[in-house]
């Protein structure tokens, strides 16, 4: 059976370069500088409209308002949006506990979807908490709740901790 490809127009201009985060700051100071607007947010945060509401050592809270562009074919928020929110919250929870000479990247992400997420501007809150931050490996978990305080998804992440490169 032949299928016809559907072209989806791009609505966001992809930057050709992304400024690296200042490696002179530890993770907590860098995230706090982002909240204050002193350091630009990463492009993915701007693309999705994610914001950081809370930054503490080992803990962050992201917020995101759903919108129709997040739709999957069934008319609810695509699982990739929730997964990205969980990946961001767990990664930043870990980052908030790292020294200035370290960085990280996700090596494993597990997400459990508890209920469908509405596209009608629901205000999502994703709290990420670091569970273990070692010299080589770090783990964290996150929970997404909707504006009625219902759990909609939760997940965990394992990150490798790496030396920062100038």
pLDDT in tens, 25-60: 999 999 999 999 999 999 999 999 999 999 999 999
pLDDT at 13 over 90: no
- Topology adopted by domain 27-163: Thiol Ester Dehydrase; Chain A (3.10.129)
Q: What is the arithmetic mean of pLDDT over 139-149?
A: 97
Q: What is the pLDDT of residue 19?
A: 54
pLDDT in tens, 84-134: 999 999 999 999 999 999 999 999 999 999 999 999 889 999 999 999 999
Q: What is the pLDDT of residue 28?
A: 96
Which of 23, 26, 92 lies closest to 55 in space, CA to CA? Answer: 92
pLDDT at 6 over 70: no
Which of 49, 76, 77 lies closest to 63 in space, CA to CA? Answer: 49
Helix, strand and coil percent figures for the chain, each rounded to 5: 20, 35, 45
Task: Give the sheet arrangement for strand 102-113, strand by strand.
Answer: 51-56, 59-65, 123-133, 137-145, 151-163, 102-113
Residue 35, CA distances (Å) to 42, 85, 133, 142 in order: 12, 17, 23, 19
Q: What is the pLDDT of residue 24?
A: 83
pLDDT in tens, 56-81: 999 999 999 999 999 999 999 999 99
SS3 call for 27? helix
Q: What is the pLDDT of residue 157?
A: 98
């Amino acid at each position: 059976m032949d299928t016809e490809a559907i072209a989806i127009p791009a609505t966001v201009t992809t930057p050709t370069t992304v400024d690296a985060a200042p490696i002179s700051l530890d993770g907590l100071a860098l995230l706090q500088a982002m909240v204050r607007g002193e350091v630009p947010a990463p492009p993915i945060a701007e693309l999705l409209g994610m914001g950081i509401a809370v930054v503490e050592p080992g803990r962050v809270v992201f917020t995101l308002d759903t919108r129709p562009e997040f739709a999957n074919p069934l008319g609810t928020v695509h699982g990739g949006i929730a997964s990205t929110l969980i990946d961001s919250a767990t990664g930043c929870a870990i980052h908030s506990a790292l020294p200035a000479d370290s960085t990280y990247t996700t090596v494993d992400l597990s997400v459990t979807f508890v209920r469908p997420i509405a596209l009608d501007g629901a205000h999502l809150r994703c709290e990420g908490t670091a569970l273990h931050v070692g010299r080589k490996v770090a783990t964290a978990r996150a929970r997404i709740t909707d504006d009625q305080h219902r759990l909609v998804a939760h997940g965990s992440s394992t990150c490798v901790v790496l030396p920062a490169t100038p």
